[in-house]
Structure 1
Amino acid sequence: MNTKAKPGSVLKNLRLANGWTLSEVSRRTGLPVSTLSKVENDKMSLSYDKLARISRGLEIDIGVLFSTEGPAAPLSLVTGRRSITRAGEGRVIETEPYEHIYPATDLLNKRFVPIVAEIRARSLSEFSELIRHPGEEFTFVLEGTVELHTDLYAPVTLEVGDSIYFDSGMGHVYLSAGPGPCRVLSICSGEESQLIAATRGPEAAAAASDAGESPAPPTVKRADRRRAGRS
């Protein structure tokens, strides 16, 4: 059964449970108080890099932000974990440039984050700034033509079946460069569970300002079979 993603509500509950003020969460994550307030009140959506900032700053698995439960216990050394996401399932975060479908959100303390993304943006002008988050990212084109822009390389065009692996600390955005739908599978190394603690440092406080972010209310909907998988 599909469930709606409500990271803002989870963030608020987590903040109140820990006795944190919005200012304290802002200090930990590097996100402005105004942005956090809008997120908690479901008036602003979050891109992956901002979700990653919150998970690093609060030292939680990014999956916690999609869960109705609190943070899980520390990751044990026992292996054998698995999570199955059926076609049409997954948590969805929708922004103007992208629609992100997050599979396996029931599995916490992941070492990487899988994302199926529908790319809608067609111009750099649709972004207030390039996206960046610590770690590495692998992207495989499922449908359409993708144009990847970064701050260190010339734009590169990727067709169906092409893939790219890059340092996600480098500023980057994906654009749809074809006439039809554009979808990719991205695997991001997240600073979650023990990795979060290992990367804890002043970078959150020095994170780029979000002043140019659009305040448009987010749209949260179910992942359908056409986008989340082929039946």
Structure 2
Amino acid sequence: MNQRETVLDEGGAHSVGRILADLRHDNGWTLAEVSKRTGVSISALSKIENGQSHPAYSVLTRLSSGLGLDFSDLLEGKSSRTPFARAVRVINRDGEGRMLKNDMGRYRMLSTDLAAKALTPMIIDVPPLAPGATPARSAHSGEEFVYVVSGSVVFEMEPYAPTVLATGETVYFDAASEHGFYASGPEGARILSICYSGSGDAPDHLTV
């Protein structure tokens, strides 16, 4: 993910701002305190609260991790969901899931009805790299597993050389290292990505 990503429409942006403002008010936190907890700048937090900014995926993950909120709650603008517990389950039928889009591709977030998950599963439709474009990059805490469902992708990760992953191939890596994907063919590709934070929070992407 990077600075150009957009994941929420105007209504979603206002919902995040409302949740953030209510949480600050209930806990008596200043913007400076929230900034220290999340790593999101005070000016960015102010714009989010006032509905002047559409928070990117990277910002949402930092807010969810730093404030103890479930990532899907921020996406949906809701304040409560079914907590993860023994014998709990959630099923996503074909095509179901919370949709978002950024420079890396089109995401279908899975199992968003459960809060406090250690895993963040996503189906990602990965486009080819546009002529002259710079590949999108991401870096976040925890670990990530990727399985190529269809097509093939170029996987780039510091400090390794780029490598092509074909259908059925996988990669498991340290997500704190800057990394990214793009389809190697003109038709695009689809991958399954599962992020693990180790804490029950969504991965806290470092780029704001």
TM-score (norm 2): 0.77
Q: Secondary structure at the match of 2:116?
A: coil
Between the aligned partners of 1:159 and 1:21, the Cα distance in structure 2 is 48
Q: Secondary structure at the match of 2:107?
A: strand
Say whether 1:176 aligns with 2:186: no
Q: CA deviation at 1:97?
A: 3.0
- Residues 40 and 169 of structure 1: is their aligned pair in 2 closer, same or farther, counting only changes over 3 Å? farther
Contact 2:151–2:188 (CA under 8 A) maintained in structure 1: yes
Contact 1:52–1:190 (CA under 8 A) maintained in structure 2: no
- Percent identical among aligned pairs is 28
| Aligned residue in 2 for 1:86 | 93
Answer with 65-74 or 143-152: which moved more. Answer: 65-74
Higher RCO, Cα 8 Å, sep 6+: 1
Which of 100, 111, 118 is equivalent to 1:104? 111
- Residues 7 and 109 of structure 1: is their aligned pair in 2 closer, same or farther, counting only changes over 3 Å? farther
Q: Secondary structure at the match of 2:78?
A: coil
Say whether 1:65 aligns with 2:74: yes
Between the aligned partners of 1:152 and 1:96, the Cα distance in structure 2 is 22
Between the aligned partners of 1:92 and 1:33, the Cα distance in structure 2 is 28
Between the aligned partners of 2:164 and 2:126, the Cα distance in structure 1 is 14
C-alpha RMSD of the superposition: 3.1
| Aligned residue in 2 for 1:156 | 163
Q: CA deviation at 1:126?
A: 4.3
Q: CA deviation at 1:42?
A: 7.5
| Aligned residue in 2 for 1:41 | 51
Aligned residue type for 2:61: A
- Residues 33 and 95 of structure 1: is their aligned pair in 2 closer, same or farther, counting only changes over 3 Å? farther
Q: CA deviation at 1:39?
A: 8.7
Between the aligned partners of 1:140 and 1:11, the Cα distance in structure 2 is 31
Structure with more strand by fraction: 2
Between the aligned partners of 2:178 and 2:165, the Cα distance in structure 1 is 18
